[in-house]
């Protein structure tokens, strides 16, 4: 093919036009990337993105959020601490545009660091609504707990009945609720014990009272105080086990509860290599406590709970278990099998949320047919902690603040042996450049022949 001067000129024009358009496209992309930022998290479990629960907490925080990071430019152990903090907080700043971050070098301004109570390099002071908290850990759960505390605007007092062998919110025994109590404190609640044999009444500033399976009888005078607390509109979380009510029958009657004898048996638990007396919660009717909740929960030795009709309470089931199981009224040793003459077929409701209007506000009560599910022994199973915190949030009137569902860092690191690392290095440093050079040389040679 013969190329004359006219055709050669046309090819030059075409090539020049292509270069101009290419440079214009690159410039346009650069402008758009500066003006409009879009990011995609391609990690296996989106560990570089904020969870919906954290985003929801940020949405409940109108107004500016200020973070002052007391960090040096370089740390002998951590390197560039400021970059670590800046990168970690970037998703929070994208989610909340009025989150302001500033740095103070504690080595250059030691007096400011001492005045702020800063003790370690990289410590941050988070301020919101006239309140402040210190943050020393760069993980989402710590930040979310801190944001919850600030969003509440103050501590919420949660009291628990004591003096009768109940499960304690500060206890360390396996049957106690100490781990759960510590989690509540991290999220802005204050927990205190209440002995009604000594106290005149339940304090008026208590957001909720927890009754967790007394082992000895509650005195009639104490039961009268509990009834009076409920009559006045007090919020209540009642964890009921298989044991007798030990003097709390008046409270059962006041709430209109129907406590079915027997233990829930769930074949689904057996299929998961768990005891059949573990009821697995997977179905949650619509309620503010369970909205968007999809974690499996574990309720050991659960009992079925119902409510009488004709009462002034509006009852909503919270947890339904054992759709293929039953309520066992026989002994639990040996082989457990359904007996249609004495057992009750599932599904079984083991959690209820009760509400009724009062003069100036609504009253809220939650009854769960298993005190084990929040105990130190079982709190770490499935979503038990998340559900428990959601229950207390709802009772305290903070149902918009939900608990964090931690994400495991499945793909946080990549381990390569020497052979794999050598292959990748040769591929990118030698093979790929040679292929590009070869492709360029072949194109040049073919054009020369034209």
Residue that wins the pLDDT comparison between 15 and 229: 229
Please give the average per-residue pLDDT across 19-44, as a whole number: 72
Under the banding of pLDDT at 50, 70 and 90, the label for residue 238 is: very high
Structure tokens at 384: 């038990």
pTM of the model: 0.72
Q: Is residue 278 part of a domain?
A: yes
Q: Is the pLDDT at 279 greater than 60, yes or no?
A: yes
Strands 206-212, 156-161: parallel, antiparallel or unpaired by DSSP? parallel
Q: What is the average pLDDT value for the chain, to the nearest integer?
A: 86
* 280 pLDDT tier (thresholds 50, 70, 90): very high
Q: What is d(CA 244, CA 82) in angstroms, rounded to the nearest whole number?
A: 58
Do residue 287 and residue 321 come from a single domain? yes
Q: Tell me, what's the pLDDT at 450?
A: 62
**Which tokens sit at 34?**
């500066």
Say if residue 289 is exposed, middle or buried (CB neighbours under 10 Å; 0-12, 13-18, 19+). buried
Residue with the two structure tokens 């381990």: 415
- Which CATH number covers residue 88? 3.40.30.10
Burial class (CB in 10 A: 0-12, 13-18, 19+), 328: buried
pLDDT at 173: 93
* Mean pLDDT value of segment 34-59: 68
pLDDT of residue 4: 67
Which range is least confidently modeled, 138-142, 152-156, 413-417?
413-417
User: Is-contact 321 346, C-beta < 8 A?
Assistant: yes
Residue 140 lies in a domain: yes
| 139: in domain | yes
Same domain, 208 and 246: yes
Mean pLDDT of 264-279: 90
Residue 32 has pLDDT above 80, yes or no: no
Comparison of pLDDT for 103 and 57, the residue scoring more:
103
pLDDT of residue 416: 67
Answer whether residue 73 is part of any domain.
Answer: yes
Highest mean pLDDT among 150-154, 267-271, 319-323: 319-323
Strands 257-259 and 305-307: antiparallel
- Do 135 and 173 lie in one domain? The reply is no
Domain end, chosen from 121, 149, 177, is at 149
Confidence of residue 54 (pLDDT cuts 50, 70, 90): confident
E strands in 37-122: 65-70, 99-104
Reply yes or no on whether the pLDDT at 348 is more than 90.
yes
Domain end call among 112, 134, 149: 149
Of the given ranges (26-30, 65-69, 275-279, 362-366), which has the lowest mean pLDDT? 26-30
% of the chain exceeding 70 in pLDDT = 91
Instruction: Compute the distance between CA of residue 374 and CA of residue 178 in angstroms, rounded to an integer.
Output: 9
Q: What is the pLDDT of residues 431-444, one digit of tens each?
A: 888 888 888 888 87
Based on the domain organization, do 68 and 191 belong to the same domain?
no
Give the CATH number for residue 351.
3.40.50.880
Q: Say what percent of the chain tops pLDDT 90.
A: 44
Whether residue 133 is found in the same domain as residue 159: no
Instruction: Give the closest residue to 296 by CA, choosing from 405, 376, 411, 162.
Output: 405
**C-alpha–C-alpha distance, residues 248 and 102, integer Å:** 55
Could you read off the pLDDT of 108-146 as tens digits, one per residue? 898 998 898 888 888 999 999 888 889 988 888 888 888
Residue 48 has pLDDT above 70, yes or no: no
Q: How confident is the model at residue 379 (pLDDT cuts 50, 70, 90)?
A: very high
Whether 410 is in a domain gets the answer no
The answer to whether residues 174 and 309 belong to one domain is: yes
- Asked whether residue 250 falls in the same domain as residue 368, the answer is yes
Higher pLDDT, 214 or 130: 214
Containing domain of residue 231, as a range?
Answer: 155-331+338-395
Q: Dump pLDDT digits (tens) for 304-328.
A: 999 998 788 999 999 999 999 999 8
The answer to whether 405 and 390 are in contact (CB under 8 A) is no
Q: How confident is the model at residue 232 (pLDDT cuts 50, 70, 90)?
A: very high
Domain count, the chain: 2
Mean pLDDT of 167-174: 93
């Amino acid at each position: 093919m013969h190329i004359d001067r006219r055709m050669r000129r046309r090819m030059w024009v075409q090539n020049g036009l292509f270069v101009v358009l290419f440079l214009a496209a690159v410039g346009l992309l650069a402008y758009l990337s500066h003006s409009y930022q879009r990011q995609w998290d391609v990690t296996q479990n989106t560990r570089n993105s904020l969870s919906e629960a954290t985003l929801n907490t940020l949405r409940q925080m109108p107004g500016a959020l200020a973070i002052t990071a007391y960090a040096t430019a370089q740390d002998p152990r951590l390197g560039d601490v400021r970059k670590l903090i800046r990168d970690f907080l970037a998703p929070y700043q994208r989610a909340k545009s009025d989150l302001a971050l500033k740095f103070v070098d504690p080595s250059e301004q030691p007096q400011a660091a001492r005045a702020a109570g800063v003790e370690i390099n990289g410590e941050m002071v988070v301020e919101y609504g006239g309140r402040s908290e210190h943050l020393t850990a760069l993980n989402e759960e710590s930040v979310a707990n801190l944001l919850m505390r600030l969003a509440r605007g103050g501590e919420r007092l949660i009291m628990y009945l004591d003096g009768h062998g109940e499960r304690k919110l500060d206890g360390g025994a396996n049957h106690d609720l100490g781990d759960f109590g510590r989690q509540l404190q991290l999220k802005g609640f204050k927990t205190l014990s209440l002995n009604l044999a000594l106290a005149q009444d339940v304090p008026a500033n208590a957001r909720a009272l927890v009754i967790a399976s007394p082992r000895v009888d509650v005195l009639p005078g104490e039961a009268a105080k509990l009834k009076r607390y409920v009559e006045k509109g007090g919020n209540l979380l009642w964890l009921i086990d298989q044991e007798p009510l030990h003097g709390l029958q008046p409270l059962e009657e006041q709430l209109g509860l129907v406590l079915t004898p027997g233990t829930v048996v769930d074949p689904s638990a057996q299929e998961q290599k768990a005891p059949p007396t573990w009821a697995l919660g997977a179905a949650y009717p619509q309620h503010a406590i369970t909205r968007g909740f999809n974690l499996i929960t574990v309720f050991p030795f659960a009992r079925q709970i119902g409510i009488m009709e004709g009462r002034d309470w509006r009852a909503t089931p919270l947890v339904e278990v054992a759709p293929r199981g039953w309520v066992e009224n026989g002994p639990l040793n040996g082989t457990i099998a359904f007996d249609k003459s004495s057992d009750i077929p599932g599904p079984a409701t083991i959690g209820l949320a009760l509400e009724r209007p009062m003069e100036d506000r609504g009253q809220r009560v939650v009854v769960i047919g298993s005190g084990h599910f929040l105990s130190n022994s079982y709190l770490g199973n499935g979503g038990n902690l998340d559900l428990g915190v959601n229950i207390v949030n709802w009772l305290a009137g903070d149902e918009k603040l939900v608990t964090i569902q931690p994400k495991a860092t499945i793909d946080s690191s990549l381990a390569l042996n020497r052979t794999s690392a050598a292959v990748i290095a040769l591929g990118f440093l030698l093979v790929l450049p040679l292929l590009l050079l070869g492709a360029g040389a072949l194109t040049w040679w073919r054009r020369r022949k034209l």
